[in-house]
Amino acid sequence: MILTVAHVTTYRYDRPVRGAVQSIRIFPSSCEGQRVIDWEVAVEGGLRGGGFTDGAGDQVEGWSIRGPVTEVAVRVAGTVETTDTAGVLRGHREALPPDAWLRPTPPIRPDAALADLARGAVAGAADPLDRAHRLAGAVAEAIAYRPGTTHAHTTAAESLAQGEGVCQDHAQALIACAHAIGQPARYVSGYLFATADGTPHEAAHAWAELWVEGLGWVGFDPANACCPDARYIRLASGHDARDAAPIRGIALGMADETLDVSVAVQAGQQ
């Protein structure tokens, strides 16, 4: 598929701030299954700093904004050609070993309920890939997709107890379940063109990757009960949602901040 992305993230402050510093990871991963045709990231009024590739193989770029400012807009526009790899991440160069992704950060720390869900899901399964699929299926069944019922700081344990959430909650719960049985897993940020039934998905998306012996990293999207295919664009990974956030930064000054995000993913012509 040929997918075009228009993504604008706008930070607004109720009083001028002296400036801002941002770390941006909104660049398509270099791997099999996706080829960047064109991609541009710009921060209005910002100064582009240095860039590097981190240990997870993700591209990072720094930006600084001089104030006083009351609004900062990050604009992303690009086109990516994607192919279906059945969720298997191939050709992605990274330096971190799989076990590095077993670190339990607070949002993904498994509690007794998550551990029970994981152990029940994989009972009797010997094949590593089958175990991963069972974990994803168990999370999809245990947490109904309902936007607006959780928030950015909801943990995996809280979303399972509540029984509902969004893609962030599904991804973090799946990671927690994998960790509960000793399987490396990580959070992935990206874009999704459409849900499984073809409904347009006009928001940034997230899923999880689990380390499967013999295959490597394999993506699972419990929110849509599938593995990432040609409708997905992979951006960056992290231990949890905050760690994998496309934009992280700090404003210099005392002000209340509001955030507005607009994302449109469309299919172009081959």
List the CATH number of the domain containing 130. Answer: 3.10.620.30
At residue 144, the pLDDT reads: 95
Query: 164 versus 202: which is more confidently predicted?
Result: 164
Confidence label for 269 from pLDDT (cuts 50, 70 and 90): low
Q: Which residue has the higher pLDDT, 209 or 268?
A: 209
Shared domain check, 43 and 17: yes
Checking if the pLDDT of 62 tops 60, the result is: yes
Instruction: Mention every residue, 6+ apart, whose C-beta is less than 8 A from residue 210.
Output: 132, 135, 136, 174, 178, 183, 184, 185, 217, 218, 220
Q: Are residues 175 and 256 in the same domain?
A: no
Q: Rounded mean pLDDT of 146-159?
A: 94
Place of tokens 């279906």: 84
- 100 with 156, same domain? yes
Domain match, 19 and 97 both? no
Same-domain status, 61 and 134? no
67 & 109 share domain: no
Q: Are 171 and 243 in contact (CB under 8 A)?
A: no
In terms of domains, do 76 and 125 share one?
no
Answer left, alpha or beta for residue 158, where phi above 0 means left and psi between -120 and 50 means alpha: alpha
At residue 118, the pLDDT reads 98
Residues 231 and 154 in one domain: yes
Q: Per-residue pLDDT averaged across 115-121, rounded?
A: 98
Predicted pLDDT at 121: 97
Domain range enclosing 26: 2-81+247-267
Over residues 211-247, the pLDDT tens digits come to 999 999 999 999 999 999 999 999 999 999 999 999 9
Three-state secondary structure readout of the chain:
CEEEEEEEEEEEEEEEEEEEEEEECCCCCCECCEEEEEEEEEECCEEEEEEEECCCCCEEEEEEEEEEEEEEEEEEEEEEEECCCCCECCCCCCCCCHHHHHCCCHHHCCCHHHHHHHHHHHCCCCCHHHHHHHHHHHHHHHCEECCCCCCCCCCHHHHHHHCEECHHHHHHHHHHHHHHCCCCEEEEEEEECECCCCCECCCEEEEEEEEECCCEEEEEECCCCECCCCCEEEEEEECCCCCCCCEEEEEECCCCEEEEEEEEEEECCC
Kind of pairing between the strands at 164-165 and 144-145: parallel
- 135 touches 177 (CB < 8 A): yes
Clarify whether residues 10 and 99 are in a common domain.
no
Q: How many domains does the chain have?
A: 2
**Residues 71 and 46 sit within 8 Å (Cβ to Cβ):** no
pLDDT in the model for residue 149: 92
- 217 with 253, same domain: the answer is no
Residue 148, sorted as left (phi over 0), alpha (psi -120 to 50) or beta, turns out to be left
Q: What is the pLDDT of residues 4-30, one digit of tens each?
A: 999 999 999 999 999 999 999 999 999
> Residues near 232 by Cβ (< 8 Å), separated by ≥ 6?
82, 190, 191, 192, 193, 205, 207, 219, 221
Asked whether residue 60 falls in the same domain as residue 175, the answer is no
- pTM over cut 0.75: yes
CATH, residue 8: 2.60.40.2250
What value does the mean pLDDT of the chain take?
A: 94
pLDDT at position 199, please?
60
Residue 268: band (very low, low, confident or very high) from pLDDT cuts 50, 70, 90: confident
Task: Look at residue 196 in the predicted model and tell me its pLDDT.
Answer: 55
| pLDDT tens by residue, 64-97 | 999 899 999 999 999 999 999 999 999 999 999 9
Confidence of residue 197 (pLDDT cuts 50, 70, 90): low
Q: Are residues 114 and 223 in the same domain?
A: yes
